[in-house]
Amino acid sequence: MRRCFTLLEIMVCLAIMALMASVIGVQAKQTLEGSRFQNSVKRLKQEVEMLQMLALIFGSDMQLELKQEKNQFIAITHTDEAVLKQLKGSKITLKGVTQLTWNKKAEVKRLDILSNGRVWPEGVLGIRRGKEAYYLDFRFPIQIKFSQNYNDHFEPLRKPEKPEEETDEDSKPSI
């Protein structure tokens, strides 16, 4: 004899499928927002590196203005170099970024990229989205350090150790 599913069994299956779909939807949304945030951080780092290279090539100072407009942060490029007029005023929307900090304190308004490639003021730019954060360390010329841990950037800068000088006994050939 052939048995069919009851209406109650079908409704229970539909409820379980709806619950699974809602959980998957929430996870997909959070993953997508996290990915957008990471891409924004990487794009900002690439923009600063590009400005550093252009500043070195053209021997000209450039600026990157960071500001908040309508609940989102944007980065605007400024330069006085006539050759780079298409670059002037270009905007990058930092999707998913909820807070920008400078050396864990006040918000930074502008980064100056000097003609020698250095970023001024020197320090660490914190880029946050909720509990997730990335840090860009601008204390070294040309090199931008990238980390998810703020403490990585504030270890004291170590001076290179001098190699031990050879003594006269070490330099004599052994017999």
DSSP string, 31-74: HHHHHHHHHHHHHHHHHHHHHHHHHHHHT--EEEEEEEETTEEE
Window from 2-16, 18-32, 137-151 with minimum mean pLDDT: 137-151
Residue closest to 95 by CA, chosen among 35, 7, 23: 35
In a domain, 158, yes or no: no
Lowest mean pLDDT among 41-55, 102-116, 161-175: 161-175
Which pLDDT does position 172 carry in this prediction? 53
The 10s digit of each residue's pLDDT in 18-64 is 999 988 888 888 888 888 888 988 999 998 898 898 888 888 888 99
Cβ neighbors of 59 (< 8 A, separation 6 or more) are: 115
173 falls within a domain: no
Which stretch, 62-66, 78-82, 107-111, 162-166, has highest mean pLDDT?
62-66
pTM of the complete model = 0.70
The pLDDT, as a whole number, for residue 60 is 87
User: Of the candidates 134, 123, 166, 116, which has an alpha carbon nearest to the alpha carbon of residue 44?
Assistant: 134
In a domain, 160, yes or no: no
Based on its alpha-carbon atoms, the radius of gyration of the chain, rounded to whole angstroms, reads: 27
Q: How far apart are CA 69 and CA 91, in angstroms?
A: 12
Decide if 7 is inside a domain: no
Please determine, for residue 152, whether its predicted confidence score (pLDDT) is greater than 70. no
Residue type, 11: M
What is the count of structural domains for the chain?
1
Among 85-94, 104-113, 131-140, 166-175, top mean pLDDT goes to 131-140
Which residue segment(s) compose the domain that 67 sits in? Answer: 12-153
CA distance 113 to 60: 9
Helix (H, G, I), strand (E, B) or coil at 19: helix
133 occurs within a structural domain: yes
Q: What pLDDT shows up at residue 12?
A: 92
Q: Which residues pair with 112 in a beta bridge?
A: 63, 120
Q: Is the per-residue pLDDT at 170 higher than 60?
A: no
CATH, residue 38: 3.55.40.10
Query: What are the residues facing 172 on neighbouring strands?
Result: none
